[in-house]
């Protein structure tokens, strides 16, 4: 008994050491290319795009501005206002110069300028700023003497409203984008494969860090891998649908607490022919998507993450995360969110289904069509 226990402990220690060695050393030397990072960003670039195609981005200028990073957006924001103020300041200075309102022209006492108290480029810039942002200090103002100044005042006022509306709207839209709501949806660091309900399943845990719900949530997956068609064509990033469900289905999830979603590894699953030994040698990327509507803003958002073979643990399940306190409240312990526990699991899906078929055949009887029952007449040789 002692020898058997020692052998089991030794095998388990060797198994953990082998897994640690592969993850620590071989895992770093073999960096897999991922299309989708863990935080949902897409690792892809477009090359040799024609100039005409690049100009299309300026046609949809609103989306282009929204997709810009904050540093570029703030640069455009500041440049748009400072540029428009300085441009119209030059125009106001030109009006004053052409009308000979500047002090270097020595206007007479009875001279009525187009704009009061514009004495140079600096004062023209200040008047442009006051006009566009509607400050209205009352010190500098347009007179009825010059129709050109009145027309310029109207043009700057209209253009100023357009710039204010566009830039402030772009800032507000970027702040309120549902992309930021997706940051509060988190997936487990690893996916696990174990038995669930008597079936071999691939399980992933997902949690909503906010108390506000995602309405009409829908979860699904795509398996990305390189395949070769019967015609010999090599398809890189070929997409295979992966159906994920919870016990209540995969749509309209009640996302109030962390959920464990799973994919049943059956005969139609691309994981059916994989085994615990061959899984690390596979070349695929599992991308998981969660679509939903934000309850507070009614905006649609999408959360995504990906798993490579090294991040899929065979023979593990997730540790419990939800408990009930003495006060009757449900408590979620996120310390165990990505924690896994090793469990007994068949080393391949085919073995599990073959075992089930063997057990089913043992319970059933089979008729032999070649079996013929012959009646034998018994003769009693005993005479009384």
pLDDT, tens digit, 9 for 90 and up, residues 30-74? 456 788 888 888 888 877 777 666 777 778 888 888 888 899 999
The whole-number pLDDT of residue 135 equals 85
How confident is residue 26, by pLDDT bands cut at 50, 70 and 90? very low
pLDDT digits (tens, 9 = 90+) for 330-371: 888 888 898 999 998 888 887 777 666 556 555 555 555 555
Distances (CA, A) of 230 to 222, 234, 267: 22, 10, 21
CATH 2.60.40.1400 fits 181-359, yes or no: yes
How many other C-beta atoms can be found within 10 angstroms of the C-beta atom of residue 107?
Answer: 14
Calculate mean pLDDT across residues 248-258.
Answer: 71
Please state, rounded to an integer, the average pLDDT across all residues of the chain: 82
pLDDT digits (tens, 9 = 90+) for 204-232: 999 988 888 888 888 899 999 988 888 88
- Choose the most confident range, by mean pLDDT, from 19-23, 130-134, 366-370: 130-134
Distances (CA, A) of 171 to 255, 296, 297: 30, 19, 17
Cα torsion through 337, 262, 179, 211, rounded to 10: -50
- Whether pLDDT at 234 is above 80: yes
- Whether pLDDT at 28 is above 50: no
How confident is residue 29, by pLDDT bands cut at 50, 70 and 90? very low
Q: Which helix (H) or strand (E) holds 52?
A: helix 51-59
Calculate mean pLDDT across residues 12-37.
Answer: 62
The whole-number pLDDT of residue 1 equals 57
How confident is residue 183, by pLDDT bands cut at 50, 70 and 90? confident
Cα torsion through 33, 34, 35, 41, rounded to 10: -130
Residue spans of the domains in the chain: they are 51-176, 181-359
DSSP string covering 305-373? EEE-GGGEEETEEEPP-EEE-TTS-EEE-GGGSS-EEE----SBHHHHHHHHHHHHHHHS----TT---
The whole-number pLDDT of residue 177 equals 78
Burial of 204 (0-12, 13-18, 19+ CB in 10 A): buried
Percent of the chain predicted with pLDDT > 90: 32
Greater confidence (47 vs 102) lies with: 102
Burial of 92 (0-12, 13-18, 19+ CB in 10 A): buried
Greater confidence (97 vs 15) lies with: 97
134 by DSSP, 3-state: which? coil
Of 81, 92, 78, 95, whose CA–CA distance to 132 is shortest?
81
Of 112, 122, 120, 121, whose CA–CA distance to 149 is shortest?
112
Of 300, 325, 349, 321, whose CA–CA distance to 205 is shortest?
321
Pair 264, 227: CB distance under 8 Å: no
Greater confidence (373 vs 347) lies with: 347
Q: Pairing state of beta strands 312-314 and 191-196? A: parallel
The whole-number pLDDT of residue 124 equals 94
Domain 51-176 carries which CATH code? 1.10.287.70
Calculate mean pLDDT across residues 281-300.
Answer: 87
- Does the predicted model carry a pTM greater than 0.85? no
């Amino acid at each position: 008994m002692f020898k058997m226990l020692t052998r089991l402990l030794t095998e388990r220690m060797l198994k953990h050491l082998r897994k640690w060695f592969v993850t620590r050393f071989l895992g770093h030397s073999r960096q897999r290319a991922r299309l989708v990072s863990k935080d949902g960003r897409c690792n892809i670039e477009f090359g040799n795009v024609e100039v005409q195609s690049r100009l299309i981005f300026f046609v949809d200028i609103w989306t282009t501005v929204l997709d810009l990073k904050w540093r570029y957006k703030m640069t455009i924001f500041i440049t748009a206002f400072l540029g428009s103020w300085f441009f119209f300041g030059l125009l106001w200075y030109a009006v004053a110069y052409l009308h000979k309102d500047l002090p270097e022209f020595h206007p007479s006492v009875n001279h009525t300028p187009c704009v009061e108290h514009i004495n140079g480029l600096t004062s023209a810039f200040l008047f442009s700023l006051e006009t566009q942002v509607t400050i209205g200090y009352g010190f500098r103002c347009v007179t009825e003497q010059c129709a050109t100044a009145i027309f310029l005042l109207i043009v700057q006022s209209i253009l100023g409203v357009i710039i204010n509306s566009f830039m402030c709207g772009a800032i507000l839209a970027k702040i309120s984008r549902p992309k930021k709501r997706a940051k509060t949806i988190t997936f487990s660091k690893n996916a696990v494969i174990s038995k669930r309900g008597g079936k071999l399943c691939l399980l992933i845990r997902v949690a909503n860090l906010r108390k506000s719900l995602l309405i009409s949530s829908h979860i699904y997956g795509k398996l990305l891998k390189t395949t070769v068609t019967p015609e010999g064509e090599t398809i890189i990033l070929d997409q295979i649908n992966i159906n994920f469900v919870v016990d209540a289905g995969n749509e309209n999830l009640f996302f109030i607490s962390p959920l464990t979603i799973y994919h049943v590894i059956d005969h139609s699953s691309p994981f059916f022919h994989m085994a615990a030994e061959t899984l690390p040698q596979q070349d695929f990327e599992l991308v998981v998507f969660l679509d939903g509507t934000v309850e507070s803003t009614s905006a649609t958002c999408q959360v995504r993450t990906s798993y490579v073979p090294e991040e899929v643990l065979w023979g593990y399940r997730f540790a419990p995360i939800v408990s009930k306190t003495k006060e009757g409240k449900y408590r979620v312990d996120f310390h165990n969110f990505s924690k896994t526990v090793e469990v007994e699991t068949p080393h391949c899906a085919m073995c599990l289904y073959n075992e089930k078929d063997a057990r089913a055949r043992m319970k059933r009887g089979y008729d032999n069509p070649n079996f013929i029952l012959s009646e034998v007449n018994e003769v009693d040789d005993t005479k009384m």
